[in-house]
Amino acid sequence: MSNRLAIIGYGTVGSGVYEALIEKQAKVEGLVGNFSIPVIVVKDPDVPRKVSSSTIVTTDFTEIFKQKVDTAVEATPDAETAYPIVKELLENGITVITANKELVAKYGEELLYTAALKNCRFYFEAAVAGGIPILTSVRHALKTNTIEKVEGIVNGTSNFILTKMRDEGTAFNEALKQAQEFGYAEAVPDKDIDGWDAWYKTTILSHWLYGKPPEWQEEKPKGIRDIDVRDLHLADVFGGRVKHVASLEGTKAAVEPRLILADHALYGVEGVNNGVHVQGSISGSLLFQGAGAGKFPTASAVIEDIVNHWTNTAEAEPPQLEEEVKPKEAETFPYWFITGSGLENLPNRVTDIEIVEGREGTIIEAAKSEAVKFGEAVYPVSGTLKKILVAAG
């Protein structure tokens, strides 16, 4: 049987999928049998594209149905564009693979339900961590584990900016500009730097792992826009790095900057890389690390979904109900990294006060409700404090 694929959108992801499939055609066909890409749907038909003469490039979405494709890759830029397209494809029994995290976070439950009704599938491995196969891995390789905790650096743009600021002393705006020049950040980067990209991905993970939406600890994510570069240098004095982290403990969720100490799994995840730390009830601590975005890493995850579907080896749909997983401790973060000025009178200090370029920093032990009252910036601490604890007098 010949497998017939449509690609909708031909930007970074869509073109990456096409180019990789053509380059690896022999290997893919060795796995799935013959396949073809009879149609690519685009917004602007006049942009030059290097596509086989056997592939129709069109603005006419209905060409997908005329070409009788069985599978489609959705590679449009946002949820509003993608939703009606994906909905119609699924209602017509066409399986859809996407990397669109906003689409999955906002409409995933509905689209999975539609796919089930129409006896097709809706896949989204690439929507969480680009080329890192985190969804497949936790479902396939950790079947007997209860996933107790997931912590992830899942936005390469924010990670690149924080690494640049810390290592080179670059101001936030300049680091953002460089991220845009390198193609790591969009022209309008708000979803990345304000934390919404990580928020969407955390939502997907919660549904995938537990069959439930996250229980958010705050009404919106905390991004990196207001982080003072001196905080990054103070973090180094305390043996850590400020990282932008998405987390799930059971369905208890947060997206925020944290002080990650050197013994924590995410400490070494640098630059544009993503890393996802998983705590399994049997496996213990596992780190999945790699390129979280980019043309071919993302295309890789999309193509793996395609191949798994065509070979009937894909994992089952996310569960509708999973055993409840609660954090082991009522207070997840007993320690807080506080920066600003006038910190000498803070209660419950567990470290001395350090000063970098006139900005003070210290670590206190407190409940969150108390910690957030102190300092100009407050970061929860992840990792072991044993090496830096002192008798603060």
**Residue 330's Cα: distance from chain center in Å?**
26
Give the CATH class of 134-290. Answer: alpha beta
From the candidates 149, 201, 222, 295, give the one annotated as an active-site residue.
Answer: 201
At residue 113, the pLDDT reads: 94
The predicted-structure confidence for 16-25, as pLDDT tens digits, reads as follows: 999 999 999 9
At residue 293, the pLDDT reads: 80
3-state helix, strand, coil in the chain (%, to 5): 35, 25, 40
Over the range 162-174, which residues count as b (16 or more CB within 10 Å of their CB) and which as e?
Answer: bbbbbeeebebee
Would you identify the CATH topology of the domain 3-124?
Rossmann fold (3.40.50)
At residue 385, the pLDDT reads: 77
Ranges under pLDDT 50 in the chain: 321-322, 329-331, 390-393
Query: Domain locations in the chain?
Result: 3-124, 134-290, 335-382
Assess whether 106 carries a catalytic annotation. Answer: no
DSSP annotation of 349: B
At residue 391, the pLDDT reads: 39
At residue 330, the pLDDT reads: 41
Angle at 308 between CA 67 and CA 120, to 5 degrees: 50
